[in-house]
Chain A
Amino acid sequence: MGDVAVAAAHAAETAARRSYGKLVAFLAARTRDVAAAEDALSAAFESALREWPASGVPASPEAWLLTAARRSMIDAARRRRTHDAAAPDLLLFADLATDDAERRAIPDDRLLLMFACAHPAIDRGVRAPLMLQTILGFDAASIASAFMVAPSTMGQRLVRAKTKIKQAGVPFRLPDADDLQERLDSVLEAIYATFTEGWSDAAGTDARRRNLAEEGIWLGRLVAALLPTEPEALGLLALMLHAQARRAARRDANGDYVPLAQQDPQAWDQVLIDEAEALLHAASTLGGVCTIGRYQLEAAVQSAHVVRRLTGQADWAAIVQLYDALAALTGSPVVALNRAIAIAEIRGAHAGLAALDELAEEPRLADYQPYWAARAGLLERAGQLSAADDAYRRAIGLEADPAVRRFLQQRRDQLPAS
């Protein structure tokens, strides 16, 4: 490839990364046809790679791509119209073919696209994948690998969801005030699902999954920027940044697992923590319809953990209070588990075990590794060594991450003989 071709390819790639979601959103919001918007854009990128080396990179690559994509979409609609009479396409032509002014400043409809992807009419499990594909341009195979689903299955789900958006008339607009809270929750939930999928690969060995945590943060930043007065949008971003700040500290130089309590605060990313704290503070001053929600509370828990970098100790009293509020809000057994752990930090292992015992009947915790690891740790501290040994064994059997398994095995091996 010559220099010009390389520069053109580079420009196309940069434009693709920066503008893909914006252009898909713009086209899809006007036609409700996400798949057609994607097809038109990929055709536009192909023409760019063909034409830019000869003609030079245009002054506004984004506007060039949009024009090419519109042309391609209109052509496709004309072709389709011959055998598919169902065409609000005439309207579409009028909408797509006009206005230079608009072309100069392409409106950012990505938020509308996210609301469409996370619409309650769309199957919950496909909302996050759909956002990754439409906003970030991930292909179905990468998404399938990240969510550990067969590529063909993921491909089908994405196609079905896009068909539903088009055929069922899922709107591309901000929900009414009555629905906004609930709909925003499902947008945030899909973003958080993206983040946690990437987060679960703690060792960061799988490049695709590590990427997902960063992409989740990117989407979170986008929503927070587009809805700066929604406290939960800021809360989610704060939560993800807090977690991300400790990412590297979760492993030592040998790749071994380091639990939060033993992490060196110096290994945390102070810049991310500061940003998270500022967001959380901003969220708390907003008030709004829903004053405090799940994400702000969870981010506040993180915040109470990282005060350790200043005071040498996590604020366990605040953590218990926050988990009380979260438990009241969500009724989640995982929250109750974390609350029990925090209680043990304040009132001792026996009090923590008593709180854990209340959860013994909870079926969702029976196969949940952290429950057994927490139980083992508290039993060990309470001197109930044989029960601790059993609980460690159970936790080890439930863990998928080899580094965490090694850590638990060491703890088990170090139990004094009972």
Chain B
Amino acid sequence: MKYMLMIYSSEAEENAMKPADIQGIMQAYGAYTEALTKAGALKEGERLRPIADATTVRVRGGKTEVLNGPYAETREQLGGYYVIDVPDLDAALSWAARCPSSSYGTIEVRPIWAM
């Protein structure tokens, strides 16, 4: 089954991290992505630019409204995602637990709607 692992963490906290810690996390992400690839589980994955670079769009009554900023102001923000293909939820959950951000952020695991 395919799952999306959505990585939520606090940008404010990350901005306050020491460069050495950030480097440690980046290295951990490199190793994690490699492990996912070698396990044959990785479909895709990207890191997202900060919410300051987000723009939201909606069309109401035929009028397009463009707003600066993310969809919702939250304490933690969506910062990246992986799409993985694994046998079941337990396998997806154990990959989510290994994601470096799970130790300070939150990983939401959502099954992909099969079409």
Contact = CB atoms under 8 A, between A and B. Distances in A.
Interface in A91-136: 119, 121
Interface in A177-219: 179
A170 B1 CA distance: 11
A169 B114 contact: no
A167 interface: yes
A176 B113 CA distance: 27
Interface string B9-33: 0000000000000000000000000
A85 interface: yes
A89 B86 CA distance: 18
Interface residues of A, number: 13
B60 to A, nearest CB: 31
Contact of A119 (B3, B89, B111, B113): B89
Contacts of B93: 121
A33 to B, nearest CB: 13
Contacts of B111: 167-169
A86 interface: yes
A61 interface: no
B115 A85 contact: yes
Contacts of A168: 89, 111
B89 A170 contact: yes
A169 B1 contact: yes
Contacts of B3: 169
A86 B89 contact: no
Interface residues of B, number: 13
A169 B115 contact: no
A179 B3 CA distance: 21
A189 to B, nearest CB: 19
Contacts of A119: 89
Contacts of B1: 169
A169 B3 CA distance: 10
B88 to A, nearest CB: 4
B73 interface: no
Contacts of A173: 88, 90
Contacts of A121: 89, 93
A88 to B, nearest CB: 8
A169 B89 CA distance: 5
Nearest to B90: A171
B87 interface: yes
A307 B30 CA distance: 62
A175 interface: yes
Contacts of B5: none
Contacts of B114: 85-86
A51 to B, nearest CB: 37
What 7 A-B pairs are tightest by C-beta distance, nearest first?
A: A171-B88, A86-B114, A169-B1, A169-B89, A169-B88, A171-B90, A170-B89
Given A171-B89, A173-B90, 5 more contacts: A85-B114, A167-B111, A169-B3, A170-B89, A171-B90
Interface of B: 1, 3, 87-93, 111, 113-115
